[in-house]
């Protein structure tokens, strides 16, 4: 017999934890299942300064507060990787380690996973020259030269953080415009330690004595190659939704979950919230919004 819950929330990021607060405050039995780090992407973000009411907070601190808050009203939080959600009516959520739980409704709040650098030897040097987490690994590059690839909010916000540690930060973008918000673009342009190279893409790693010593980049107009000397490379080239374990009928062509206004999907009993759904604006505040709506829809449905 599987343990039974009213709601199982898959993912303990801002969307899942907010859903847990709302559902457990309505006296529902809630289980949250997280495959990696509580707080999700937030825990790897240096600073949040666009969450209303909190002018500035470290991502890790907000992640910790949300994780505690998410469990405050009785929701249970466990680690595990969900591999299947099955069943009509009552749902069964199966985990990679063989455990399974039953519930009346599921909220998928699994977020996104960073895209990795597609270059020869990139996997080999991940963790020793290539990093996807400035907050975790920035310290190792103190007073060294760093390259950041990408021009979105993640790339530019982490560039500002890394510039406070590194000797120099070079941002390489493939177009001549940034995807990030104007405010952060202005801050980056005003930072004397940051150089911006436009219209270039990564071509290969420069490796000497089994260490990264530079990144070769290619001009997208002329194909000319130049080398940026560096000890560390931080790719922030976007992310893909963590939705592989779901029925493809509820996903769009990029793998994002198609959720209705009430966060339900076309499969009864499966709801979705946060960065893993198809939407325009991926922010902590919009993830929390989705989580609250998903929980409220389930509360109304179960009543």
Selected catalytic residue, list 97, 102, 118, 136: 136
Cα–Cα distances in Å, from 229 out to 55, 170, 199, 260? 36, 10, 18, 48
Q: Does 201 contact ligand NAP by CB under 6 A? A: yes
Q: Is 258 among the residues that bind ligand NAP (CB under 6 A)? A: no
Tell me which stretch binds ligand NAP (CB under 6 A): 67-75, 94-102, 152-160, 187-195: 152-160
Question: Which residues have C-beta within 8 Å of that of residue 296, sequence separation ≥ 6?
Answer: 22
User: For the window 49-68, what string marks contact with ligand NAP as x by the rule CB under 6 A?
Assistant: -x------------------
Active site residue 133: yes
In whole angstroms, give the CA distance from residue 298 to residue 303. 8
Q: Which is nearer to ligand NAP, 36 or 239 (CB)?
A: 239
Dihedral angle of Cα 297, 288, 241, 132, to the nearest 10 degrees: -160
Structure-token pair, residue 129: 């020259």
Which residue has the CB atom at the shortest distance from ligand NAP?
152
Catalytic annotation on 136?
Answer: yes
Closer CB to ligand NAP, 136 or 302, in the complex? 136
Cβ–Cβ under 8 Å, residues 228 and 244? no
Contact with ligand NAP (CB under 6 A) among 62, 148, 155, 194: 155
Distance of closest approach, residue 104 Cβ to ligand NAP, in angstroms: 31
Provide the minimum distance between the beta carbon of 286 and ligand NAP in the complex, in angstroms, as a whole number: 9
Q: Quick one: the chain helix, strand, coil %, rounded to 5?
A: 30, 30, 40
- Number of amino acids touching ligand NAP (CB under 6 A): 20
- Is position 137 annotated as part of the catalytic site? yes
Scanning residues 219 to 238, which ones bind ligand NAP (CB under 6 A)?
A: 236-238
Token duo for residue 115: 């895209």
111 neighbors 274 (Cβ within 8 angstroms): yes
Binding mask 264-303 for ligand NAP (x = CB under 6 A): ------------------xx--------------------
* 96 touches 89 (CB < 8 A): no
- Cα 155–Cα 160–Cα 163 angle in degrees, nearest 5: 115
Catalytic residues: 133, 136-137
* Footprint of ligand NAP (CB under 6 A): 50, 149-155, 157, 173-175, 179, 201, 236-239, 282-283
């Amino acid at each position: 017999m599987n343990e039974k819950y009213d709601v199982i929330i898959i993912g303990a990021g801002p969307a899942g934890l907010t859903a847990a607060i709302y559902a457990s405050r309505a006296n529902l039995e809630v289980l949250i299942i997280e495959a990696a780090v509580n707080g999700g992407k937030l825990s790897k973000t240096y600073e949040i300064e666009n969450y209303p009411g909190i002018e500035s907070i470290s991502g890790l601190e907000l992640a910790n507060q949300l994780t505690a808050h998410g469990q405050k009203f009785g929701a249970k939080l466990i680690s595990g990787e969900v591999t299947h959600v099955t069943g009509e009516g009552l749902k069964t959520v199966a985990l990679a380690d063989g455990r399974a739980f039953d519930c009346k409704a599921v909220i998928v709040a699994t977020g996104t996973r960073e895209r990795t650098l597609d270059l020869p030897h990139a996997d080999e040097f991940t963790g020793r020259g290539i990093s996807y987490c400035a907050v975790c690994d920035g310290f190792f590059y103190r007073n060294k030269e760093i390259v950041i690839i990408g021009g979105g909010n993640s790339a530019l916000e982490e560039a500002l953080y890394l510039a406070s540690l590194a000797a120099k930060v070079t941002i390489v973008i493939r177009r001549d415009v940034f995807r990030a918000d104007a405010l952060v673009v202005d801050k980056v342009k005003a930072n004397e330690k940051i150089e911006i190279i436009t219209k270039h893409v990564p071509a290969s790693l420069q490796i000497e004595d089994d260490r990264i010593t530079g990144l070769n980049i290619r001009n997208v107009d002329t194909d000319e190659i130049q080398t940026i000397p560096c000890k560390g490379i931080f790719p922030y080239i976007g992310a893909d939704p963590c939705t592989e374990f779901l029925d493809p009928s509820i996903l769009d062509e990029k793998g994002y979950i198609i959720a209705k206004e009430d966060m339900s999907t076309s499969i009864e009993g499966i709801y979705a919230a946060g960065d893993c759904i198809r939407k325009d604006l991926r922010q902590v505040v919009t993830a929390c919004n989705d989580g609250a709506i998903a929980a409220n829809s389930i509360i109304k449905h179960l009543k």
